[in-house]
Amino acid sequence: MKEWEKNIRKVTPYIPGEQPKMDYVVKLNTNECPYPPSPMVEQAIKDLDYKRFRLYPDPDATELVRAIADYEKVPEERVFVGVGSDDVLGMAFLTFFHGEKPVLMADITYSFYDVWANLFQIPFETIPLNAQLEIVPEEFCRENGGVVFPNPNAPTAIEMPLSQVEKIIRKNQDVVVIVDEAYIDFGGTSALRLTEKYDNLLVVRTFSKSRAMAGMRIGYAIGSETLISALKAVKFSYNSYTMNQAAMAAGIAAIRDEKYFNQTIEKIISTRERAKKVLSDFGFFVTDSKTNFLFATHKTMEAKDIFEQLRDRHIFVRFFDKPRINQYLRITIGTDEEMEILYQALREILK
Ligand SMILES: *Cc1c(COP(=O)(O)O)cnc(C)c1O
């Protein structure tokens, strides 16, 4: 090994779901929205003046922050935006998890959390979900240096009732608690209003799932002014111009179109509820999803086998080769037409 090689930071990166290069029939592997964003987004992109691209974007993303603040009914000082919620969460780890005690996270959860903890050299402890794959709030009440969990959890799709979320926050008022609400719009109850009561609570949201804009990279956090100022200070110590002009314009248009947003959500929820029944009839056990995906295990057939046979048919779902969940598939809710193609393939595979 060369001398300089010894100084290279060694990390094990997060592995995102596959973006297939081949032609695919149905892509249900990365929880994207099957519908396009609001038509107002299309208009906003058409209205962009490319000549302005020579200028740096607004480092404070003022107008996008204002649009989000209006929508969420919070003061602008309590909103932080970033390049997808991954950016927001990464910044939050760097800002708030800076002590010696371990940060608590579930053993089965969004697999980026331990990657950031390792990258930023944050000590952490993983807390097992119970046999029903639920987060056990009591287990998050031990001494710690911070708490992070998604609600609903991913990839289990299970929502924790707000009373239990509050219990975790109430018992952890000496540390920052991050609630990642990437999927909250699909029928969950948000902890957002609790940010008025607890100044150590940060709620993180994204435009990637419910607003059909994964490709635009917009996420945000809501918390007390103290938390948001601290986040901004770290962000401006690293990269000021993260939000580009096109993303900001698209984000503003998307969040203002509440009618389209509600219609999209309704369609996805109705497809999801039907999908739960169909998969159960096929012999799957399906968790009670409050997200835009299902987490399902078949009673007799190996998950990996189903995954591979679907893939052979160019139907993409997600399989995690990890202890405890390696008999499960995570299946994003597509359009009704896409789901019919999936059901037909499953009928053949399970025969
Ligand atoms: C998808 C997802 C994110 C990241 O979404 P972005 O595209 O970066 O906004 C964060 N947390 C969870 C639990 C997710 O599923």
Ligand 1 pocket, residue 154 CB under 6 Å:
yes
Statement: residue 126 has pLDDT above 90: yes
Model pLDDT, residue 22: 79
- Cα–Cα distance for residue pair 82/96, rounded to 1 Å: 16
Q: Give the atom of ligand 1 at the shortest distance from the alpha carbon of 110.
A: 13
Residue type, 40: M
| Cα 45 to ligand 1 centre (Å) | 23
| Cα 145 to ligand 1 centre (Å) | 23
**Length of the chain, please?**
351
Mean pLDDT, rounded, of the chain: 97
**Choice among 80-84, 96-100, 320-324 with the minimum mean pLDDT:** 320-324
Whether omega for the bond prior to residue 36 falls within 30 degrees of 0, making it cis, is no
> What secondary structure letter does DSSP report for 78?
G
Ligand 1 pocket, residue 223 CB under 6 Å:
no
Q: Give the atom of ligand 1 at the shortest distance from the alpha carbon of 154.
A: 13
- Cα–Cα distance for residue pair 155/142, rounded to 1 Å: 24
pLDDT band of residue 341 (cuts 50, 70, 90) is: very high
Per-residue model confidence as pLDDT tens digits over 7-38: 999 999 998 888 888 777 899 999 999 999 99
> What secondary structure letter does DSSP report for 75?
-
At residue 179, φ and ψ (nearest 5 deg) are -110, 115
Per-residue model confidence as pLDDT tens digits over 192-238: 999 999 999 999 999 999 999 999 999 999 999 999 999 999 999 99
Ligand 1 pocket, residue 182 CB under 6 Å:
yes
Model pLDDT, residue 16: 87
pLDDT band of residue 106 (cuts 50, 70, 90) is: very high
Q: Which residue's CA is the closest to the ligand 1 atom numbered 11?
A: 182
Ligand 1 pocket, residue 95 CB under 6 Å:
no
Per-residue model confidence as pLDDT tens digits over 144-191: 999 999 999 999 999 999 999 999 999 999 999 999 999 999 999 999
Task: Please report which helix (H) or strand (E) contains residue 253, including its range.
Answer: helix 245-256
Model pLDDT, residue 25: 80
Ligand 1 pocket, residue 84 CB under 6 Å:
yes
Statement: residue 116 has pLDDT above 80: yes
Q: What is this structure's pTM?
A: 0.97
pLDDT band of residue 77 (cuts 50, 70, 90) is: very high
At residue 304, φ and ψ (nearest 5 deg) are -65, -35
Statement: residue 40 has pLDDT above 80: yes
pLDDT (average), residues 275-293: 98
Model pLDDT, residue 312: 94
Residue 128: CB atoms within 10 A of its CB come to 13
pLDDT (average), residues 241-245: 97
Q: Please give the share of the chain, as a percent, with pLDDT higher than 70.
A: 100
Q: Give the atom of ligand 1 at the shortest distance from the alpha carbon of 208.
A: 7
Q: Give the atom of ligand 1 at the shortest distance from the alpha carbon of 30.
A: 1
Give the ranges where 18-83 is alpha helix by DSSP (H).
Answer: 39-46, 62-72
Ligand 1 pocket, residue 150 CB under 6 Å:
yes
Q: Is 28 exposed, middle or buried (0-12, 13-18, 19+ CB in 10 A)?
A: buried
Ligand 1 pocket, residue 149 CB under 6 Å:
no
Ligand 1 pocket, residue 200 CB under 6 Å:
no
Model pLDDT, residue 196: 98
Q: Extract the tokens encoding 248.
A: 């900001």
